[in-house]
Amino acid sequence: MADQQLVDMVPAIGAKINDSIRHSKGESTIVGWGQFLQKSEHEHQIGLYGTCAALLVRAVIDPKADCPNGVIEFLKSRKERTKDYNQNSRLAYLVWSLSFSVYGPLTAIRDEWLNELVNRQQQDGGWGDTQRIGEEVVTSRPEVTAFCVFAMVAANSNQSVAIKNAVSFLNRFILSRVTPTEQVDPFVIAAVLAGSTDRKLVPLRVIETALSMICREHMTSSDVRIFFFDYFDKDDDDITTKRDFFCVPEFFAHCSISCSRILADTYSLAAQFTVQRARSRLKEALERELEDGTVTPPTSSHVATVDQGFAAVSAKLLQAFPPQMEGFVRLISKLVASIKRPSLVKALLSLLLAGLLGVLAQNPTLISDQLKDMQSPYMKAANSFIADRAASLQIVGIVVGLLLGQSLVINVLSYLRSIPRKIFGRAA
């Protein structure tokens, strides 16, 4: 399937988004979307999170798309009244989701939220879970900072200093790990690559970790990554700490990494092949996800609005990243997968053992000749055992060699018959 065809599948999501718009139960002029697309089960549920996710899908399809009457009013009315605005990760998502639109009223709201987000950046370059209230202490977290980097980059803002400081914070975190992949989230790696403009400024550890992550087989799964956050909530004069969670499909982070311009500028041929193979696998996985018109995690029975937004952007990323030798990469990947088949492993082991026993059958004293100069009592006993039974061992070697030779022929034929099915999807 061509990349443009993949993007052409996104309007099917948009059609379901448009069908799930709803009115507020108490205020009929307030219009928006909810956390899930199933309108019958959540008829009046409207929120910032779901509304911005729906607007994101509409903007990916048509950046100039306007808003249904009542949506702008809803976005303005919910400012500073919800946990979505209090939590830095969710505020970053709101900014990011509106950054794909060029519709004036939406870009004005985005810029206002973006300025608020930047003002919450801490001195170390990172962001904590929540905005600071009074003297409460907020500790910077790499996952939250990663979402903020995505938001600033997507908005194409003039916040280059804020982005640079945030990337420096994330690089320090990554370099503090003992091994390249220890406790480093794919979203953190993706944010560093997205926020960096010069390949030379990206630490080698980041490149190595990115390539290691996209090599993993499970990267094409539609599993959801759940982030837990604590945020401050002020009720009159009382400040309380509450906990919430933020769900993001993992394939978005992997798409961001494999479609990174920084990795595209890596000169290693092996690295280029790894990136292209990852991109090809992700594309196939996303095609399967979009066949039914929506993306639904295997652990959920509900169609989350936010997942549709991430799927739409992932399809756009795969289209924007130019394919290089995609057909060749797919063929080589299937060949590599066929080499891993058990029948070939058995054939090679049979060949190795048959050859070894054949040599010993021709020269049964070969091992004893190597052991005779060793002074260990165990080695002397082994040497004596082999020397006394040379003729018997020769016969055993010939018999076992013949049996393994027969096994070798069977395994090789089995492997050869499996190659066409593995590569071309049919039997020989």
pLDDT tens-digit readout, 189-245 = 999 999 998 888 888 888 888 888 887 756 666 677 788 887 777 666 677 777 777
CATH class, range 3-335: mainly alpha
Q: 93: which 2 tokens?
A: 């998502």
Whole-number pLDDT of residue 428: 41
Q: Cβ-count burial of 271 within 10 angstroms (0-12 exposed, 13-18 middle, 19+ buried)?
A: middle
Q: Under DSSP, is residue 324 helix (H, G, I), strand (E, B) or coil?
A: coil
Whole-number pLDDT of residue 124: 93
Q: 285: which 2 tokens?
A: 């996985």
Q: Hey, where are the domains in the chain?
A: 3-335, 341-424
Backbone φ and ψ of 112, nearest 5°: -65, -45
Query: What distance in Å separates the CA atoms of residue 21 and residue 17, rounded to the nearest whole number?
Result: 7
Q: 416: which 2 tokens?
A: 């050869």
Other beta carbons within 10 angstroms of residue 191's beta carbon come to: 29
Q: How many Cα atoms sit within 13 Å of 165 on the Cβ side?
A: 14
Average pLDDT, rounded, for the chain: 76
pLDDT band per the 50, 70, 90 thresholds, residue 168: very high
- In 3D space, the residue among 388, 284, 274, 377 whose CA is nearest the CA of residue 333 turns out to be 274
Q: For residue 236, what are the β-bridge partners?
A: none
How do strand 224-235 and strand 238-249 relate by DSSP bridges? antiparallel
What is the share, in percent, of the chain residues with pLDDT greater than 70? 63
Q: Is the pLDDT of residue 80 over 80?
A: no
Q: How far is CA 49 from CA 16, 34, 64, 128, in A?
A: 17, 8, 21, 19
- In 3D space, the residue among 254, 184, 244 whose CA is nearest the CA of residue 216 turns out to be 254
Q: Is the pLDDT of residue 98 over 90?
A: yes
- The secondary structure of 37-63 as a DSSP string is S-TTTSTT---HHHHHHHHHHHHHH-T
Whole-number pLDDT of residue 170: 94
- The secondary structure of 148-201 as a DSSP string is HHHHHHHTT-S-HHHHHHHHHHHHHHHHTSSSTTTT--HHHHHHHHHH---GGG
pLDDT tens-digit readout, 370-422 = 545 555 565 556 566 666 666 666 666 666 655 555 555 565 666 566 655 55
- Region 304-324: mean pLDDT is 79
Whole-number pLDDT of residue 151: 94
